[in-house]
Structure 1
Amino acid sequence: MRLLMLLLAMVLLPGLSCAGPWPRSDGGVFLSFAVERDREGNSYTSLYGEYGWTARRTLGIELGHTNVGETSALIWLQQALGRGEGPNRYTISSGIGVIERDGEYLPLGIIGASWGRGIERLPGGGWLAVDARIKVAGKTERIAYREGMNLVEFGYLTPETTAKLDVTLGFKPWDRTMVINQLRMEDRKGEGFSAKLATSVVYEIGGPAKIEVGLVTPLRGPGEAALRIGTWLEF
């Protein structure tokens, strides 16, 4: 039933991120809907969900849309490694999906790995996590050549690889409030290396619901500072 609710919510809500190294509890559901927008009008809308398939396996779905017309959908499975003992946690993940660009649908695949541990010395207790991902998406290349009097054009699919590394430090200074700092690093073929710092405050408004307000600041590469607003549901 909870899996059905998760899938239904993702169809009804408008709408990419990476699961941390702590698997979702068996049967547990987490949903996050967020919008990032800068002063130039560029925006990114995302819907992210996790479902605890078993105690050590988490199923995830991600939907994303940019204002320039690119839409992506991804489903992935995460597996916890080790016995779950000690302070360190490790997971691996893989997934498949599709990207829609200008009416063309292209394949998408990811592999990832995560490490994390709790940090008791931070105010209210906290955590540190490192999430690495390699994403391979299809990209259409077109070649035109002449055969006699005719101009012939054909397209073929080539891989477009992106490596991502997110370092997250979070803590809970007050009972209903979390502060999350995330360094987002990305190396995209043809565009080079970029880095952003995302800082958010997440406040529990009651029951399973939380609200998120934050700022995403470019450290390297193109882009403007963006405001992030989102909602969390966990049950």
Structure 2
Amino acid sequence: MSRLVLTLLLILTCGPAWPGAWLREKGTAFTAASLTAFREADGAHDYKTSLYSEWGARPHLTLGLDAEEHRDLYGHALLFARFPLADFGKSGRFAAEVGAGAHHRGLQAWAMYKAALSYGRGIQTGWGGGWIAIDTALEYRTHEALIRKLDFTAGLSSGRRFDPLLQIETSYTPGTPWYWSARPSVMYRPKSGKTTWVLGFERNAARDGTGVKLALWSTY
């Protein structure tokens, strides 16, 4: 329960939003904290928490942290570096990312490594401007097989107080079924412009029920 309280405090005191192909400007930072709660078939509650942060270390280098925890049962923490590969203007941009860290199950922990290739571009719709991002990754956890990931994110940044967001994540580990999760959400931007609240729902291949996600994004 103490881990849940800590995560709620993080959500209230700090601020992925658009990782992948976009880099942070030098000296700027972004933080996202989230809590997703599920109700099990027997009436019990389950939850997972995440903390994501990135910082523009140089004009062409972004450093960051990606951490997730599932009720103290298993989770990971990964440090990463992102750098640009190509920028095609309105046609989009590519970036690469490499990371290293650790993951655990219970009290056992192992090293993990990640390499990713991302594509992103801005879009214009009848409801305003927005973006799409496609992220592919290979994730090696030293006690498991190589995990292959493919994620998709789309959202609007119209300047309105409310905008939609859709995140779809998939992964495949040899010898196991494909895993997927889908999170449709609504973003709310207060007048301050420095924070964004995100409220959404999650369905995934591991559960029959629907989770509720609350997140706070902040820029500095």
Q: CA deviation at 1:129?
A: 0.9
Instruction: State the alpha-carbon separation in 2 of the partners of residues 64 and 58 from structure 1.
Output: 20
% identical equivalent positions: 24
Q: CA deviation at 1:84?
A: 6.0
Q: CA deviation at 1:226?
A: 1.0
Structure 1 residue 135 corresponds to structure 2 residue 139: yes
Instruction: State the alpha-carbon separation in 1 of the partners of residues 188 and 10 from structure 2.
Output: 21
Q: In structure 2, give the amino acid aligned to 1:163.
A: R
Q: CA deviation at 1:135?
A: 0.9
1:196 match: 181
1:94 match: 98
**Relative contact order (C-alpha < 8 Å, sep 6+): which is higher?**
2
1:23 match: 23
Q: Where in structure 2 are there 5+ consecutive unaligned residues?
A: 1-6
Q: In structure 1, give the amino acid aligned to 2:100.
A: I
1:37 match: 37
1:106 match: 110
TM-score, normalised via structure 1 length: 0.78
Instruction: State the alpha-carbon separation in 2 of the partners of residues 137 and 39 from structure 1.
Output: 29
Q: CA deviation at 1:122?
A: 4.6
Q: CA deviation at 1:53?
A: 1.2
Instruction: State the alpha-carbon separation in 2 of the partners of residues 51 and 167 from structure 1.
Output: 22
Q: CA distance change for structure 1 residues 26 and 181 in 2, over 3 Å: closer, same or farther? A: same
Deviations 1:16-68 (A, max 9, x none): x5822111111111000001121112321000001011222111101211026
Instruction: State the alpha-carbon separation in 2 of the partners of residues 69 and 106 from structure 1.
Output: 14
Structure 1 residue 67 corresponds to structure 2 residue 71: yes
**Residue aligned with 1:63, SS:** strand
Q: CA deviation at 1:212?
A: 0.9
Q: In structure 2, give the amino acid aligned to 1:30.
A: F
Match of 2:150 among 165, 171, 192: 165
Structure 1 residue 46 corresponds to structure 2 residue 30: no
Task: Please tell me the root mean square deviation across aligned C-alpha atoms, in Å.
Answer: 2.2
Larger radius of gyration: 1
Instruction: State the alpha-carbon separation in 2 of the partners of residues 168 and 29 from structure 1.
Output: 20
TM-score, normalised via structure 2 length: 0.83
Instruction: State the alpha-carbon separation in 2 of the partners of residues 80 and 176 from structure 1.
Output: 31
Instruction: State the alpha-carbon separation in 1 of the partners of residues 200 and 110 from structure 2.
Output: 32
Q: Where in structure 1 are there 5+ consecutive unaligned residues?
A: 1-9, 140-158
Contact 1:123/1:172 (<8 A) preserved: no
Instruction: State the alpha-carbon separation in 2 of the partners of residues 106 and 39 from structure 1.
Output: 30
